[in-house]
Structure 1
Amino acid sequence: MLLDLYEILEIHLSASDGEIKKAYRKLALRYHPDKVEEHEREEAELKFKEISHAYEVLSDEAKRLDYDLYGSTDGMPGSSGAGGYSSNPFDHAYSSQDFHPDDFYNFFSNMNTGGPTPGGRGPQPLQRTEDARIDVDITLEDLYKGKTYKITSSRNIICTTCSGTGARKKAMHKECAACSGQGYTVKIKRVGPGLASKFHVTCETCDGAGKIIRPKDKCKACAGSKVVEETKILEFEVAPGSQDGESIVLNGESDQYPGKLTGDVILTVHCKPHDVFTRKGDDLYIKHRITLVEALSGFSKVIAANLDGRAIHVTTTKGQVIRPGDFLRIPKEGMPVKQASLWFSLAQKKGDLYIAIDIEFPQDNWYLEKNDLVKLLNLLPTDLADKVQANKQQVPVETLNGANIEYVTDYKIVQKSGLPHYEADEPQPEQPDYSSQEYSTECAQQ
């Protein structure tokens, strides 16, 4: 039975190159034939060969990956024979014109590495520091006129004293033993039976620098952290006409860190509900109630104060009837249309203002004298303008026997919401189409 190479070196499957080297040195010193007694030398030689073989395989990235895939160093593709050793374990397993064995191998070799690197080696591409996000509540008036937000921000910037090294000048740097000075370690992750992938992670010991410094050599300004705190005022310009949920980005204003791209500061505005106006795109909507007299005869009055403080005075045409459900459209009194420039220009475009009209009818028994009803009957039309509809509704009473007429005075006015609920009002499932030619022909043959 073959021994597991990881067990021989007494290390974990995810051990880094530095951990493998450290374990090998420790065991080699313990089992070296020259370091043991005479009667233990033969056993020590066998053990030393096992340790050396395990280190030879696991210290080589390509051989280690093959071992993780096959679980043995015997019979691996290219391990012996003509042609030498092949680092691709799929070289003999897959071959076609549409699929090259390197495609499958590179997929697993570069999994979680952020992209392929030459020879499967090398650190990850430059990472970014985390973006800073700010949420603010804003009024509809501010979105209409535009607003500048000034926010005090604290962030980390690269220490200017040590230029981000974390060490004082002329400090002695030592190679990081955990990553062997590479700044990253290679981890192995099993992704299935007999399959594994490797990926690079930043070394936690040296934080990706590949070198470590003594405590007394740390930079006094940043205490070895490589960054110092900076406080500054950031300005965000919310342009007129900006939308709810829109974000303003200040590039490169987040935390800095050596070897990383600087993230952004992102401010997102959230519009508060307004008591009068409702925004839909670049248009504004309001509701306004008028009397029945105003709906019939017209009106001239201030409807509302716009978001910039101007009074909106509307005059309707006398005699033009406003009916329930009608809207009054006022052009160019809506929200500004956001432009490239932050502030208003002479050619500023705007949406429209829509006024939803609600007509208030008079109370019951509104008249003071019966003569008022007669005056109203003389002023307003008493016949339907739609003659076709009028004829449909007309019942020829003169043809009916007087005893067949039911005189009703007992009634109640109800709203639509007060009507009974009927099953017939529920949505009905779709019925099959019996009018198709195929169905008609089949019926005709029966």
Structure 2
Amino acid sequence: MPVETELYELLGVSVEAGEAEIKKAYRKKAMQHHPDKNIDDPDAGQKFQEIAAAYEILTDPQSRAAYDRGGMAGLNGGPGGGPGGMDAADLFAQFFEGSGMFFDFAGGPGMGRRKGKGEDSVIPYDVTLEDLYNGKTVQMNIQKEVLCGVCKGSGARGSAKPKQCSKCEGKGWAFVQTAISPNHYGTSRAPCSDCKGTGEKLREKDRCKKCKGEKTVKEKSRQEIQIEKGMTDRQRIVLAGAGDQEPGVPPGDVIFILKAAPHESFERSGNDLLMHVTITLSEALLGFSRILVTHLDGRGVHVSSPPGKIIKPDDSIVLRGEGMPIYKRSDTKGDLYVLFEVEMPDQQWLRSVDTAALASLLPPKRSNPEPAPEIVDEVKYEEIDIEDVRGRSYPAGADFFDSAGFQFGDGGDGDDWEDDDEDEDEDGHGEPECRPQ
């Protein structure tokens, strides 16, 4: 039984509700509380945002599990929290990126602007697989807003005091209309553009000369980030309190999100690695003893095949403990999988040898089936690149090409397409257009 049920109650569903039931309840609630249908209710927009937020959490398996285990505190990284202790407002930022919505989880979902902390700055950072294998320390300059040293963040000149904003009459917000469709508009509340949501403004002559009344100025600072061994693509590195400053609240965080570039030799899957190695026909038949891998740290890895072992195309071996370092346990590593490709001799080599003598050494050719079919058609021998065939829009099954190559990592999981009918209910109606994007 979940420790909290407020989000379920917000949508009017039971804690055992399935995804289809939650979707149907969301559509009904969203239509009921849409700001366009409740123009006279100033809280309709906030209610609509709460419903959308509850829907996003309860339809995502990870966030729903975290909420069921620890409630809103679980989403906020408390006992029973989600992966990595993700901050609940950061979770909502993923769902509603660019929407201008803010949520405060101190008193439950959708209580207005996030309190107690400034906004976080998110910075993508490109890394190589070598960086993630070996670790790396990076020094960089970051420009951020800091409190003005002259007015101490008041924005005022001397002892001047701000006056009530005339545009919003001190409320800090105003009604705005947003186009939902070509002939459909919704009304919601937004921070006042004149006073930026504070409800008060300084006269021009009363503003601080240094910050021009903005209360903050731009400043460059040098920051160091540590890319630890075993980190993964899209992992976050958080510099707590290094974000922009604003009066009255602690500064937010600077969050670096790692973006790993594909590697020309290795593929990564969790803590394991895969690489393709080409060997000659002689090595495939008679064995080999050589450096197969130049690793991500520059080491050569020498491997010998067992005597009498014939290696066939697409055979694979595993090198235990030669994969990626495990995050926070870098003395332990995953495994490295090596997939063999056998390089066949070319036409020039074939012309240089005694083909009759070669045939006597090789296994005999395959004979025709017995009994032979009654009808035998002669067809033309024509070469083609199988990758060209893969790129065509044939209605083949998902496993059609399984025998044509080794599949590794994230490929073939079906996440690269969506069923257009997936979100339709039993009446054939999709989700309403009013869902925030």
Task: With the length of structure 2 as denominator, give the TM-score of the two structures.
Answer: 0.52
The reply on whether 1:229 has 2:162 as its aligned counterpart is no
Matches within 5 A, 1:64-213: 108-113=41-46, 124-126=112-114, 131-180=120-169, 182-187=170-175, 200-213=189-202
Q: How far 1:277 sits from its partner (Å)?
A: 2.3
User: What residue in structure 2 maps to residue 27 of structure 1?
Assistant: none
Residues 1:178 and 1:124: Cα distance change in structure 2 (over 3 Å): farther
What is the root-mean-square deviation of aligned Cα atoms in Å?
A: 4.5
TM-superposed CA distance for 1:413, in Å, is 6.7
Residues 1:360 and 2:340 aligned together? no
Whether 1:266 aligns to 2:199 is: no
Unpaired stretches in structure 1, ≥5 consecutive residues: 1-98, 117-122, 385-389, 397-409, 430-446
Q: CA deviation at 1:228?
A: 1.9
CA change 1:255–1:293 in 2 (3 A) is same
Matched, 1:311 2:300: yes
Mapped contact 2:322–2:333 kept (Cα < 8 A): no
Does the 8 Å CA contact 2:268/2:274 hold for their aligned counterparts? yes
Q: Distance in 1 between matches of 2:176 and 2:123?
A: 38
CA contact (8 A) 2:145 2:219 kept: yes
- Superposition deviation, residue 167 in structure 1: 1.4
Q: How many angstroms does 1:183 deviate by?
A: 4.2
Helix, strand or coil: the match of 2:41? helix
| d(CA) in 2 for partners of 1:198, 1:412 | 69
Matched, 1:350 2:334: yes
Shift of 1:308: 0.6
In 2: Cα distance, 1:273 partner to 1:197 partner:
44
Deviation at 1:300, TM superposition (A): 0.5
Which residue matches 1:293? Answer: 282
- The number of residue pairs the alignment matches comes to 284
Matched, 1:278 2:262: no
Alpha-carbon separation, structure 2, partners of 1:293 and 1:322: 10
Distance 1:278 1:200, change over 3 A: closer
Output the CA distance in 1 between the equivalents of 2:217 and 2:379: 83
Q: Quick check: 348-357 or 324-333, which moved more? A: 348-357
Q: Is 278-287 or 308-317 further displaced after alignment?
A: 278-287
Contact 2:172 2:191 in 1 (8 A): yes
What SS class does the counterpart of residue 208 from structure 2 fall into? coil
CA distance in 2, matches of 1:413, 1:176: 82
The offset of 1:299, in angstroms, is 1.1
Alpha-carbon distance change, 354 to 158 in structure 1, aligned in 2, over 3 angstroms? same
Q: Per-residue deviation at 1:357?
A: 2.8
Cα 1:141/1:105, change in 2 over 3 Å: closer
Partner in structure 1 of residue 418 of structure 2: none
Aligned in 2, Cα 1:297/1:107: closer, same or farther, shift over 3 Å?
farther
CA contact (8 A) 1:157 1:230 kept: yes
Query: Aligned residues: percent identity?
Result: 32
Q: 1:350-408: per-residue Cα shift (whole Å, max 9, x none)?
A: 232323232424643453496x448x54xx66599xxxxx9x95679xxxxxxxxxxxx
CA distance in 1 between partners of 2:149 and 2:204 (Å): 19
| Letter of the 1:294 counterpart | E
Counterpart position of 2:102: none
Query: 2:178 & 2:45 partners in 1: Cα distance?
Result: 13
In the aligned structure 1, how far is the partner of 2:144 from the partner of 2:229? 29
Give 1 or 2 for the bigger CA radius of gyration. Answer: 1
Are residues 124 and 259 of structure 1, via their aligned partners in 2, closer, same or farther at CA, if it must alter by over 3 Å? Answer: farther
Distance 1:337 1:328, change over 3 A: same
Q: Give how far 1:162 is off.
A: 2.8
Residue matched to 1:25: none
Separation in 1, partners of 2:224, 2:269:
28
Equivalent position amino acid for 2:41 in 1: F
User: 1:240: which partner in 2?
Assistant: 229
Tell me what 2:327 maps to.
338
> Secondary structure of the residue that 1:108 maps to in structure 2?
coil
Give the TM-score taking structure 1 as reference length: 0.51
Distance 1:355 1:263, change over 3 A: same
Matched residue type, 2:336: D
Cα deviation code 1:144-178 (max 9, x no counterpart): 11112222011112224433221144324444444
What is the distance in 1 between the residues matched to 2:121 and 2:298? 35
Q: 1:107 to 1:209 in 2, by over 3 A?
A: closer
Gaps of 5+ in 2: 1-31, 51-110, 180-184, 373-377, 398-437
Q: 1:224 to 1:316 in 2, by over 3 A?
A: same
Distance 2:132 2:350 in 1: 45
Q: C-alpha displacement at 1:201, in angstroms?
A: 4.0
SS of equivalent residue, structure 1 residue 224: coil
**Structure 1 residue 332 displacement after superposition:** 1.8
CA distance in 2, matches of 1:383, 1:213: 93
The one-character-per-residue Cα deviations of 1:69-127 (angstroms, maximum 9, x if unpaired) are xxxxxxxxxxxxxxxxxxxxxxxxxxxxxx9xxxx9899341234789xxxxxx95347
* 1:109 and 1:197 in contact (8 A); partners too: no
Tell me how far apart the structure 1 counterparts of residues 302 and 38 of structure 2 sit (CA, whole Å).
75
Contact 1:298 1:316 in 2 (8 A): yes
